[in-house]
Structure 1
Amino acid sequence: MDNRAGEMVVFVRVVEAGSFSQAARLLLMTPSTVSKLIARLEVRLGARLIERSTRRLTLTGEGQFYYERSRALLDQLAETEQQIEQGGAETEGIVRVTSSVAFGAAALEPLLPAFFEAFPRIVVDLSLSDEVVDQYLERTDVAIRIGGLSDSNLMARKIGKTRRGIAASPAYIARHGMPQTADNLVHHNCLGFNFRRSNAVWPMRNGGRIAERMLSGALLANNGETIRRMAIAGVGIARLADYHLRGPIARGELIEVLPDSTLNDSEEIHALFRGTQFLPARVRAFLDFMVPRMQHFLDHD
């Protein structure tokens, strides 16, 4: 009898466990049985799915594709069985979501009460971090990413674009003066980020020309909320997205610095997820509900 679903279960467990032996323990099988099953699967498909080494397992391109589709199909199968068992009940399950700290707090969290009212049987497992999460390693369903997208097999829905601005507190400006040109920033305490994908270069427009300036300061942080709070406290000057700054600027806690120099400094925001044809109902429901509302949030900065 054809047992492709069983093969998918074993393959997915191997990928997510990171080893044949660990997968075997979880599946209550022997490592040799798991290894033979994966080898038989590769022969049937006519493609190598996993590169073996003494230290780790690495997916080939075909393996990555097979993993994505298998994971989605198994999730869909589980949802189908749950709904049949419950008499066709509404969409349910866990949606694992990651977002940057500030965007998640400002744009995503306020939408959750209405989402839970519309989908009372969906659980949102939300993690806020300005570090980039590997969706395959972390089993994340949806990742809200700010900035350029790297080449990957992930699908994306564009949420919108946000402009970055530069701001400082009235107290800081009173002590150190208001920068009059982009060149003045090298003499100021410019707060920055410490994660690997960040750098200390701020793109600034000087007339019709865009120049990148390497700046430094007394603080490096791993999230925009810390940078914003320290800017409000008068520690230094911050370069942050509009959704970080608009509240403090409206309340007079921050003053925008060199606004004409940052007009072209913007970043796109996307919702990333795995696959489309076999997207689990719970993930599709989350995206269909959240993306238009987050687009509205950005359009009304």
Structure 2
Amino acid sequence: MDNRAGEMQVFVRVVEAGSFSEAARLLRMTPSTVSKLVARIERRLCVRLLERSTRHLSLTAEGHVYYERSLALLAELDDIDRGVMQGAAATGGTVRVTTTVTFGVHALEPILPEFWRAYPNIVVDLSLSDEIVDLYFDRTDVAFRTGTLQDSRMTARRIGVSHRKIVGSPAYFERHGIPATVDDLARHNCLGFNFRRLAPVWPIKESGRIVDRNVRGSLLANNGETLHRMALAGVGLARLADYHVRDDIAAGRLAEVLSGESDEEPLHALFLGGMRMPQRVRAFLDFTVPRLQAFVAG
């Protein structure tokens, strides 16, 4: 492995200490190891950097150049480290966040004004999409996702469980009736998503396990907000998260059918970096996660 910066540090310490033995003591290395490292530098550069005698060391002309350039480079490396550390520790900068349209509109966006009152120097770069994005490729800091975790490179903080409900409006039920069994869904207009499969399915609980049921409908959309609006308009049935429809159910605008037959999925905040994440990302997660947990729990 190339460790020229480490070799430079040893060389600088030898020059400043005036001897291999004193440099070795300061570096907690053996004198022979220090001598071999300096000799390795000289072999690589094909020049002699130090004139050695029994009483003292002196720099050659090339040694003076290498010493001065090494000091400058090591100082620059220190500046880089300090700059990155200070940037990570500052509660400012941009946090790139992605989540589904529904979760973003109903859960995340309402708490952002309070977040900015606490952290006015943090910019939230928010993307709402029900498509799955690659955190590495899109350089995303935090993703709120529903479903089973699959990417072991990312760290997760659990938000809660998203319980799915099959809902329709009173107007729809008046025209088409209320499905009494899962099999009745075959004759209903089931609104679905278009980003998972060509043939839309609804995961349904049957005999204690989840089974994908083929459904048909007049609408396939790429986000839950569109399905929600069409369900309210009486177009058909929709399978939506409980936090998405609980106010509508309480107000009588929507009603749940086949209660207990739909599925549930875990909801997590995913992020990169683990314990070494920038402070701006940590501040965002520490602020939002507890509030989102309370929201999902209802």
TM-score by length of 2: 0.69
Cα shift at 1:253? 1.5
Cα shift at 1:91? 1.1
Corresponding residue to 1:2 among 1, 5, 10: 5
Which residue of structure 1 lines up, in the alignment, with residue 194 of structure 2?
Answer: 194
After TM superposition, which residue ranges in structure 1, 4 or more long, deviate above 6 angstroms?
none
Corresponding residue to 2:280 among 265, 282, 289: 282
2:265 partner amino acid? E
Cα shift at 1:209? 6.2
Could you tell me how far apart the structure 1 residues matched to 2:83 and 2:152 are? Answer: 27
Look at both structures and tell me which one has the larger radius of gyration over its CA atoms.
Answer: 2
Cα shift at 1:111? 1.1
SS of the equivalent of 1:286 reads helix
1:269 partner amino acid? L
Which residue of structure 1 lines up, in the alignment, with residue 292 of structure 2?
Answer: 294
Could you tell me how far apart the structure 2 residues matched to 1:197 and 1:117 are? Answer: 42
For residues 47-81 of structure 1, the C-alpha deviation after alignment (integer angstroms, 9 at most, x for no partner) is xxxxxxxxxxxxxxxxxxxxxxxxxxxx9865544
Cα shift at 1:291? 0.7
Cα shift at 1:110? 1.2
Could you tell me how far apart the structure 2 residues matched to 1:210 and 1:149 are? Answer: 17
1:2 partner amino acid? A
Cα shift at 1:162? 1.3
Cα shift at 1:251? 2.1
Unaligned 5+ residue runs, structure 1?
4-74
Show the 5 A alignment for 1:13-52: none
Identify if the C-alpha distance between structure 1 residues 206 and 137 changes in structure 2 by more than 3 Å, giving closer, same or farther.
closer
Which residue of structure 2 lines up, in the alignment, with residue 269 of structure 1?
Answer: 267
Unaligned 5+ residue runs, structure 2?
7-79
Which residue of structure 1 lines up, in the alignment, with residue 165 of structure 2?
Answer: 165
SS of the equivalent of 1:132 reads coil
Give the conservation status (yes or no) of the 8 Å contact 1:76–1:280.
no
Cα shift at 1:196? 3.3
Please provide the CA RMSD for this pair: 2.4
Identify if the C-alpha distance between structure 1 residues 280 and 206 changes in structure 2 by more than 3 Å, giving closer, same or farther.
closer
Which residue of structure 2 lines up, in the alignment, with residue 122 of structure 1?
Answer: 122
SS of the equivalent of 1:202 reads strand
Show the 5 A alignment for 1:135-146: 135-146=135-146
Cα shift at 1:201? 2.4
Which residue of structure 2 lines up, in the alignment, with residue 183 of structure 1?
Answer: 183
TM-score by length of 1: 0.68
Give the conservation status (yes or no) of the 8 Å contact 1:165–1:239.
yes
Which residue of structure 2 lines up, in the alignment, with residue 134 of structure 1?
Answer: 134
Could you tell me how far apart the structure 2 residues matched to 1:98 and 1:172 are? Answer: 34
Which residue of structure 2 lines up, in the alignment, with residue 252 of structure 1?
Answer: 252
Which residue of structure 2 lines up, in the alignment, with residue 24 of structure 1?
Answer: none
Asked whether 1:155 is paired with 2:155, we answer: yes
Q: What is the aligned-residue identity percentage?
A: 57
Give the conservation status (yes or no) of the 8 Å contact 2:194–2:200.
no
1:118 partner amino acid? A
1:261 partner amino acid? E
For residues 204-226 of structure 1, the C-alpha deviation after alignment (integer angstroms, 9 at most, x for no partner) is 33565654321111110000000
